[in-house]
Amino acid sequence: MRLLKNREALLVVATGVLLALVAMRFPAFVAPANLARVYNDTSILIILALGQMAVILTRCIDLSMAANLALCGMAAAMVNTAFPGLPIPLVILAAMTLGASLGMVNGTLVWKLDIPPIVVTLGTLTIYRGLIFVLTDGKWINAHEMSDAFKALPRLELAGAPVLSWLSLAIIALMFVVMSRTPLGRAFYAVGGNPHAAIYTGIDVGRTRFFAYCLSGALAGLSGYLWVSRYAVAYVDIAAGFELDIIAACVIGGISIAGGIGSVTGAVLGALFLGVIKNALPVINISPFAQMAISGTVIIIAVAVNARAERRKGRVILRKAEAV
Amino acid sequence: MLQDTTTSRIKPAIALEGISKSFPGVRALSDVSLALYPGSVTALVGENGAGKSTLVKILTGIYQPDAGVIRIAETETTFPTALAAARAGVTAIHQETVLFDELSVAENIFLGHAPRNRFGLIDWTKLNADAAALLQRAGADLDPTIRLRDLGIARKHLVAIARALSVDARVVIMDEPTAALSHKEIHELYALIERLKADGKAILFISHKFDEIFRIADRYTVFRDGAMVGEGLIADVSQDDLVRMMVGRAVDSVYPKKAVEIGEPVLTVSGYRHPTEFDDINFELRRGEILGFYGLIGAGRSEFMQSLIGVTRPSAGAIRLDGEVLVIRSPAEAIRAGIVYVPEERGRQGAIIGMPIFQNVTLPSLSHTSRSGFLRLANEFALAREYTSRLDLRAASLDQDVGTLSGGNQQKVVIAKWLATRPKVIILDEPTKGIDIGSKAAVHAFMSELAAQGLSVIMVSSEIPEIMGMSDRVIVMREGRIVGRFERPVLTAETLVRAAAGIEAPSEGRAA
Amino acid sequence: ENKKIALVVKALGIGFFEAANKGAQEAAKELGDVEVIYTGPTSTTAEGQIEVINSLIAQKVDAIAVSANDTDALVPALKKAMDRGIKVISWDSGVAKEGRMMHLNPSSNALIGNMIIKLAADHLPEGGDVAVLSASATATNQNTWIAEMKKVQDNYKGINVVTTVYGDDLADKSYRETQGLIQSYPNLKAIIAPTSVGIVAAAQAVTDAGKIGEINVTGLGLPSEMAGHVKSGASKSFAIWNPIDLGYSATMIAYNLINGAEAKPGAELKMGRMGTVKLDENNEGAMADPFVYDASNVEEFAKIF
Amino acid sequence: MADAQLSPRNIPDRLQGRGARLMKSWEALLLVVATAIFLGNSLASPYFLDPWNLSDATFNFTEKAMIAFAMALVIISGEIDLSVASIIALASTAMGYAVQLGFDTPALVAIGLGVGLLCGAANGLLITGLGLPSIVVTIGTMSLFRGLAFIVLGDQAFTGYPASFSWFGQGYVWWVFSFEFTLFVLLAVIYGVLLHKTNFGRTVYAIGNNQTAALFSGVRVGRVKFMLFLMTGLMAGLASICLTSRLGSTRPSIALGWELEIVTMVVLGGVSILGGSGTIPGVVLAALIMGMVTFGFGLLNVPGIVMSIFIGLLLISVIALPILWQRARRRFAQ
Ligand SMILES: Nc1ncnc2c1ncn2[C@@H]1O[C@H](COP(=O)(O)OP(=O)(O)OP(=O)(O)O)[C@@H](O)[C@H]1O
Ligand SMILES: Nc1ncnc2c1ncn2[C@@H]1O[C@H](COP(=O)(O)OP(=O)(O)OP(=O)(O)O)[C@@H](O)[C@H]1O
Ligand SMILES: [Mg+2]
Ligand SMILES: [Mg+2]
């Protein structure tokens, strides 16, 4: 009973039920190998959702994440085509640095100019994506222009799973440590939970938000490389509209849009839930056209459930009620 | 008690010199100086808005002073952030509980300076153990791992106390620490203060309760209107001296209660109850009467009053207005019926910051000032002008943003707003909270006048003098229930406090 | 004064259309008194194309040659253009009849429909399951070719077309849809992607799934983009017409219309070095036959487009 | 007597005159920007100053602006509606479906508006009835509404709208004034009056500034918000009629991504995204600016995405500049 009240447990159960339903019509879907494939397919969404989580926890939002991803991915591909010999880790580092700098732009505008986060990232969303066009004249970078090493890394098999999966697992582990064991992670919670009190605690609210944006930017940069190398193509519109999927994953995962509430587990589960739906629908022969309506419905239900769980129980003044 | 703290042989743990601080339109502190000595408790007293909390915030690095210096152990320092102050050994229990509802008790205590392991990561085991120890010291029997939101206000305050103890401080500041605590907890706090004194900490203690000041303080400092107007040893003053220094005149004139002939019952409340907030509330309010509601903070008075206007839904109960049964489901219906509520939290529930004064005042009366749904600005200005001038509002113009007014003037706008609806019953929840003495007098005078005109007034207040000065009758609430009813002739401060705190035997402290 | 001919493409930046632009510029140079405006929206939407067309009308261009994102939605805007005296043709992906004077198919639809299934069948002597990966569900040309393909499907014994999925001309969506196909149809032997974006993504997905040799990806693609996949064996062969020629022909036709040629059923319009095109009863004409690329010739053409 | 203390001091109604207030307002800033863009366009392209071209240019913003008016009210009240573009898609799909069933123009209009209202009501119920945050609810309904359109249409398109239906998106009321532009002007006036001259508008501001205080002051917060979402739905339905009529066909991807453009328009118009302030004249100016920027750039054949960079920069800088300016002034004063 207590377990059921827990948001994350509920999400695990929901995902389990979903898998069971799919398995009834298509048993091969729940074969370990296929589940691993679904996980691999969701890896990028997980990484992005974790970055978005940090930002949402501080009572902000990052609508520019997908555009940031696209710009960094394009930059990585351009670096690769210009210097095919450059070691891939350096390319990744460059993408993450660029991503973090774009995040810093968001963070600085929020921190130093006090512009509402939604306006800032709405603006940078169009600017970042526009920059890709300016940078490339709209030209695509196709598979044959990328070096083999560039394309190979995410699909390289290590101990039975692709590097992409391992990478996302590493990011999850890292975020676990950051969120629960470092002052910065705890500051995210504090700043979103009660910005006023955070000041009294000696936490610089603006700076914490700035770091949240840096983090989400860096993860978007990493995802940019992963996306481009995995799909072996880079163009202006990659991941267009994906920012809403990222936010949806967070919302489903129980991260409160009002800040201060949420967990790494929640974000991961939210992303996985969406990933399972995305991968299961074509398999069980539900028209791909129904997918959008289904994920919309799921989001609304998730919000309603989370809101019920969050609803203040009210301060208990009466003694007898406190005893119950 | 130490006897010789005043002698120059002992150096102050911290000293402030010539501190000034202004906010837009308010000079909160002007050229104040204050020294705190190790092993000694200094009481800081002053009216609401005298600048006490502002001083605390300057001492803890939340505000930066406009002028003046802070010295620790005779070296000049600055506190650019709250963390810097904590590092310098200054810690505080703030007036508002500034804590995090979604975090655990232990983390609330250690946020910002959590113990780390050798990798630089937060050490949760040690953190929880240390928190448990600190809670013990603060006299709270609490599981450090539960979430703060599951605690009541008093226990939250204990957590705030534990947080203040979590840094190794040489200066401990307590801004009205007992306001939300119950009798037993207050006594544990006194014992804690004794221990801190014995450890050689310098303590600044802010309170409006004179009994506790005389009980635990060694020295006093009095603020009036942002300036220091007196200091010395507690042993050398009487309570009356302190009050005179604080207010600058005799206290009596503050409550201009008129003698009004009380009429027939106007509002009858019977059997009001709510699953968690209040239970079994019955009373009558009569024409021309001012009915005081007294209780400690968190007694559930505001919650109950809000159920009368349809904000909180009661689970049972009925009200009659002028003998007719009324069902009120929303504030809009309450206003139409003639019952209005001037809320306690001015910033959140009362004033609409960001809108001009006249729009604030006319909001509940728009149906009177407009014609078939279209605004009539001339009518609005007329209404706003009438009521704000009766409350002696000080403002540059009526289309000035309410947010730019001083707290007291904001409160006047809020009161004007509800008076402009011409109610039969007006409920004032802490009407003078946070407003200066002059405005307070204006509000009280106006309240008296309203009663004289035949309005019925319910006044919720946690200030004994205000309750005693203004009420015809007093109802005392504790933990969501009515625990006492007193007619004016038998009112004493002591009976009120006892009823509110649930003490049977006479308490040993001096009553105010 | 120079004649202004606008070459409106589905979206800027797509290799195929960039190549078409090359052809258009070539035609302009050849003609001498023509200025080609190469334009289009930045993503493949009809609303975006309408805004572009409106601004071209305002600039009083002499002709618009459009590859449409939507058959029907562009009609009102293009009608307005014709009302203001602008010659309008569509090429590559057509506009409904009332919205243009003529449509230039890169090749005859029947030929293409036959070609794409033949490419698959050639490497499946035993027959087997094949699936179609299309671009967006609204793409006119895709739908026509697939329809034509289905008409002749019975001529290829044992070839079983199991489903059609849509990758929306987005690499990632096409990739995911291909993954779904591989999952859902364990016996899949070939994927036909009559779209240059889809075919590359499908080949990539097949490579990643380790299915090279089991599943052959074929369809319509650009040599430069497909060279790697032909080399790896993910695609044994594919076809395409020359986009440079297509842009060249469209520009030539537009120029001739400006200069008084008439587009009506049965008319023969000149296309410079590409010869002439004969219009059918729907005022549609085909430019040339598609050309097949495989390991033997792909490297050579990869350098060109 | 206490009355002696209540010396009635005369507080003036207003300190600044109408003109002075106007000069310092956001709208003045926008007006300058708009004029600059107008002049810039006239200089940059010989085709810009042509009545028919300008009339064509209005189609770039009229439909979005209709929704932007309603959205402005929603944002002023402290909420947001991201589902508007999806409502357009669903309403258009419903109308297209009705055409297949043989309905004629009046019925189509009723269906378009009706579906808009229904969607608005669904949003309103979820947000005010269940007390859910509007940003996530409308992200959900955004997928849901468009998803329903996809379920109905799949890869198909609805065409064959009756000829009389095309008037809404292609017809002209008088000379160069299209039906859409006329509607835009009319709605601007209606919304301007509603927001600035009625009790309803005043309560919208009150809710946006302080919802709790508004509730305590007798404002029926839930009801007002519900109405606002209903109106947004209705406007989306109306825009759907215009857009569908202009395109002459319905695809489920119609109006994709418009929600962000509409929010941008509203914010550029000086409406605070945090709620509580903003004006309709500001939104009108923002619509004109965005329309002129896209059209002017279009005349120079600048790609749409480069225009959007410009809009993005405009959005951030128009908000940042006053803040920086104030800071500089304060520093200067010290
Ligand atoms: N952040 C602020 N902005 C503007 N004015 C402020 C601010 N903080 C305090 N003030 C003003 O400064 C004055 C002093 O306030 P302060 O909180 O120090 O009073 P106090 O002595 O602590 O009163 P109380 O007994 O009610 O706690 C008041 O007039 C108050 O309105
Ligand atoms: N558990 C709690 N957590 C946080 N704040 C609390 C809690 N309990 C009470 N409060 C705060 O204390 C104040 C008083 O609570 P409440 O209104 O229920 O009682 P009251 O008897 O009306 O007290 P008051 O004397 O302040 O009018 C409110 O401002 C409320 O926000
Ligand atoms: Mg204080
Ligand atoms: Mg109260």
Write the residue with the smallest CA distance to atom 12 of ligand 1: B28
pLDDT on residue B508: 40
D148–A contact, CB cutoff 8 A: yes
B147–A contact, CB cutoff 8 A: no
The closest alpha carbon to C70, from C175, C154, C143, C171, belongs to: C143
Measured between alpha carbons, how far is A103 from A71 in angstroms, rounded to an integer?
12
Q: What is the pLDDT of residues B360-393, one digit of tens each?
A: 999 999 999 999 999 999 999 999 999 988 887 8
B298 contacts in A (CB within 8 Å)? Answer: 315, 317
Q: Nearest residue of A to residue B279 by CA position? A: A318
Name residue A271's amino acid: A
Q: State the greatest distance between any 2 C-alpha atoms of chain B, in Å, as a whole number.
A: 77
Neighbours of D212 (CB within 10 A): 17
pLDDT on residue B1: 40
Average pLDDT over residues B209-214: 82
**Fold matches, B14-249 and B264-501:** yes
Q: Which two tokens stand for residue D213?
A: 């205080």
Does residue D1 carry a pLDDT above 60? no
Does residue C59 carry a pLDDT above 80? yes
D2 contacts in B (CB within 8 Å)? Answer: 256, 445-446, 448-449
At D272, which CATH number? Answer: 1.10.3470
Per the CB < 8 A criterion, the answer to whether C287 and C246 are in contact is yes
Chain B 324-353, residues with CB within 8 Å of chain D CB atoms: 330-332, 334-336, 341, 343, 348-353
Of the pLDDT bands very low, low, confident and very high (cuts 50, 70, 90), residue D16 is confident
Q: Give the total residue count for chain D.
A: 334
B277 lines ligand 2 (CB under 6 A): no
Residue D29 lies in a domain: no
Q: Report the CATH number of the B264-501 domain.
A: 3.40.50.300
Measured between alpha carbons, how far is D239 from B410 in angstroms, rounded to an integer?
44
Measured between alpha carbons, how far is A1 from D84 in angstroms, rounded to an integer?
40
Q: What is the pLDDT of residues D282-333, one digit of tens each?
A: 999 999 999 998 888 888 888 888 888 888 898 898 888 878 888 888 777 7
Element (H, E) at D227: helix D221-247
Does residue D76 carry a pLDDT above 60? yes
Write the residue with the smallest CA distance to atom 4 of ligand 2: B153
B314-319 contacts at long range (C-beta below 8 A, 24 or more positions apart): B314/B272, B314/B273, B314/B274, B315/B273, B315/B274, B315/B275, B316/B271, B316/B272, B316/B273, B317/B269, B317/B270, B317/B271, B317/B272, B317/B273, B317/B281, B318/B269, B318/B270, B318/B271, B319/B267, B319/B268, B319/B269, B319/B270, B319/B272
B480 lines ligand 2 (CB under 6 A): no
Q: Nearest residue of C to residue D292 by CA position? A: C55
Average pLDDT over residues D73-92: 96
Given an 8 Å threshold on Cβ–Cβ distance, is A241 in contact with D257?
yes
C and B make contact (3+ CB pairs below 8 Å): no
Does residue B81 carry a pLDDT above 90? no
Measured between alpha carbons, how far is A130 from D316 in angstroms, rounded to an integer?
15
Per the CB < 8 A criterion, the answer to whether D120 and D61 are in contact is no
B114–A contact, CB cutoff 8 A: yes
Measured between alpha carbons, how far is B469 from B253 in angstroms, rounded to an integer?
10
pLDDT on residue D287: 95
pLDDT on residue B250: 52
> If you search the block for the tokens 């728009």, which residue do you land on?
B366
pLDDT on residue B510: 35
- Average confidence score pLDDT of chain A: 88
Measured between alpha carbons, how far is D256 from D145 in angstroms, rounded to an integer?
12
Of the pLDDT bands very low, low, confident and very high (cuts 50, 70, 90), residue B437 is low
Average pLDDT over residues C82-99: 91
Measured between alpha carbons, how far is D321 from B359 in angstroms, rounded to an integer?
29
Residue D38 lies in a domain: no
B50 lines ligand 1 (CB under 6 A): yes
Name residue B386's amino acid: E
Measured between alpha carbons, how far is B389 from B383 in angstroms, rounded to an integer?
10
Phi, psi dihedral angles at C54 (to 5 degrees): -60, -40
Residues that place a CB less than 5 A from ion ligand 4: B 302, 344
Q: What is the pLDDT of residues A6-19, one digit of tens each?
A: 778 888 888 898 89
Atom of ligand 1 nearest to the CA of B176: 27
Of the pLDDT bands very low, low, confident and very high (cuts 50, 70, 90), residue B9 is low
Per the CB < 8 A criterion, the answer to whether D109 and D241 are in contact is yes
Q: How many A from CA of B303 to the centre of ligand 4?
A: 7
Distance of CA B477 to the CA centre of its chain: 17
> If you search the block for the tokens 């030929």, which residue do you land on?
C111
- Burial call B169-184: b when 16+ CB within 10 Å, e when fewer: bbbbbbbbbbbbbbee
Note down the domain range covering D199.
Answer: 48-319
Measured between alpha carbons, how far is B154 from B174 in angstroms, rounded to an integer?
15
Measured between alpha carbons, how far is B280 from B317 in angstroms, rounded to an integer?
8
Given an 8 Å threshold on Cβ–Cβ distance, is D209 in contact with B366?
no
* CATH of B14-249 given 2.40.50.140, 3.30.200.20, 3.30.70.2190, 3.40.50.300: 3.40.50.300
Q: What is the pLDDT of residues C64-73, one digit of tens each?
A: 999 998 888 8
DSSP per position, B292-324? EEE--TTSSHHHHHHHHTTSSPPSEEEEEETTE
Given an 8 Å threshold on Cβ–Cβ distance, is D8 in contact with B366?
no
Chain C 122-151, residues with CB within 8 Å of chain D CB atoms: 136-138, 143
C and D make contact (3+ CB pairs below 8 Å): yes
Residues that place a CB less than 5 A from ion ligand 3: B 53, 95
Per the CB < 8 A criterion, the answer to whether B162 and B135 are in contact is yes
Using DSSP bridges, classify how beta strands B202-206 and B40-46 pair: parallel, antiparallel or unpaired: parallel
Number of domain units in chain D: 1
Name residue D121's amino acid: A
Looking at domain A2-323, which CATH architecture does it have?
A: Orthogonal Bundle (1.10)
Question: What is the rounded radius of gyration, in angstroms, for the C-alpha atoms of chain A?
Answer: 20
For chain D, what percent of residues have pLDDT higher than 70?
A: 97
Write the residue with the smallest CA distance to atom 17 of ligand 1: B53
Q: Nearest residue of B to residue A184 by CA position? A: B112
The residues, any chain, with a CB within 8 Å of residue A62's CB and separated by 6 or more, are: A51, A52, A55, A103, A106, A117, A121, A213, A216, A243
Q: How many A from CA of B303 to the centre of ligand 2?
A: 8
Does residue B10 carry a pLDDT above 80? no
B303 lines ligand 2 (CB under 6 A): yes
Q: CA geometry: angle at D48 spanning D45 and D50, to 5°?
A: 140
D205–B contact, CB cutoff 8 A: yes
pLDDT on residue C172: 80
Given an 8 Å threshold on Cβ–Cβ distance, is D306 in contact with A134?
yes
Atom of ligand 2 nearest to the CA of B296: 25
Q: What is the pLDDT of residues B307-364, one digit of tens each?
A: 999 998 888 999 999 989 999 999 999 999 999 999 988 888 889 988 999 999 999 9
Reduced to 3 states (helix: H, G, I; strand: E, B; else coil), residue A315 is coil
The closest alpha carbon to C5, from D267, D310, B3, D301, belongs to: D301
Element (H, E) at A271: helix A264-283
Packing angle of the helix pair B407-419, B377-390 (nearest 10 deg): 120
A→B contacts (Cβ < 8 Å), by residue, are 177, 180-183, 186, 189-190, 193-194, 196-197, 199-204, 260-261, 312-322
A115 contacts in D (CB within 8 Å)? Answer: 316, 319-320, 323
Packing angle of the helix pair B153-165, B124-137 (nearest 10 deg): 110
Per the CB < 8 A criterion, the answer to whether C244 and C273 are in contact is no
Residue D40 lies in a domain: no
Q: Which two tokens stand for residue C258?
A: 């400006």
In a mutational test of the D interface, the residue from A127, A242, A298, A306 whose CB has the highest number of chain D CBs within 10 Å is: A127
The residues, any chain, with a CB within 8 Å of residue D121's CB and separated by 6 or more, are: D226, D229, D230, D233
Of the pLDDT bands very low, low, confident and very high (cuts 50, 70, 90), residue B5 is very low
Given an 8 Å threshold on Cβ–Cβ distance, is D154 in contact with C137?
yes
C120–D contact, CB cutoff 8 A: no
Does residue A320 carry a pLDDT above 70? no
- Lowest-confidence segment of B237-241, B312-316, B395-399, C135-139 by average pLDDT: C135-139
Reduced to 3 states (helix: H, G, I; strand: E, B; else coil), residue C117 is helix
Sign of torsion over alpha carbons D103, D109, D110, D116: positive
Reduced to 3 states (helix: H, G, I; strand: E, B; else coil), residue B325 is strand
Measured between alpha carbons, how far is D11 from A71 in angstroms, rounded to an integer?
57
CA distance from start to end of chain D: 46
Give the C-alpha distances (Å, rounded to integers) separating B120 from A184, B84, B107, D64, D324: 12, 20, 17, 53, 39
Does residue A179 carry a pLDDT above 90? yes
C145-150 contacts at long range (C-beta below 8 A, 24 or more positions apart): C145/C109, C145/C112, C145/C113, C145/C116, C145/C194, C146/C113, C146/C194, C147/C113, C148/C109, C148/C110, C148/C112, C148/C113, C148/C114, C149/C113, C149/C114, C149/C116, C149/C117, C149/C192, C150/C113
- Give all chains having 3 or more CB-to-CB distances under 8 Å with chain D: A, B, C
Q: Nearest residue of D to residue B363 by CA position? A: D217
Write the residue with the smallest CA distance to atom 16 of ligand 1: B51
Q: Which of residues B258 and D41 earns the better pLDDT score?
A: D41
Measured between alpha carbons, how far is B130 from B138 in angstroms, rounded to an integer?
12
Q: Which two tokens stand for residue A259?
A: 């800040």
Q: What is the pLDDT of residues A202-251, one digit of tens each?
A: 899 999 999 999 999 999 999 999 999 998 889 888 888 899 889 999 99
Q: What is the pLDDT of residues C211-250, one digit of tens each?
A: 999 999 999 998 888 888 999 999 999 998 888 999 999 9
Q: Nearest residue of B to residue A185 by CA position? A: B122
Per the CB < 8 A criterion, the answer to whether A42 and A299 are in contact is no
Q: What is the pLDDT of residues A120-159, one digit of tens each?
A: 998 999 999 999 999 988 888 888 888 989 998 988 888 8
Domain residue limits, chain B: 14-249, 264-501
The closest alpha carbon to B375, from B363, B391, B392, belongs to: B363
Atom of ligand 2 nearest to the CA of B295: 21
Q: What is the pTM of this model?
A: 0.88
D219–B contact, CB cutoff 8 A: yes
Chain D 60-99, residues with CB within 8 Å of chain A CB atoms: none
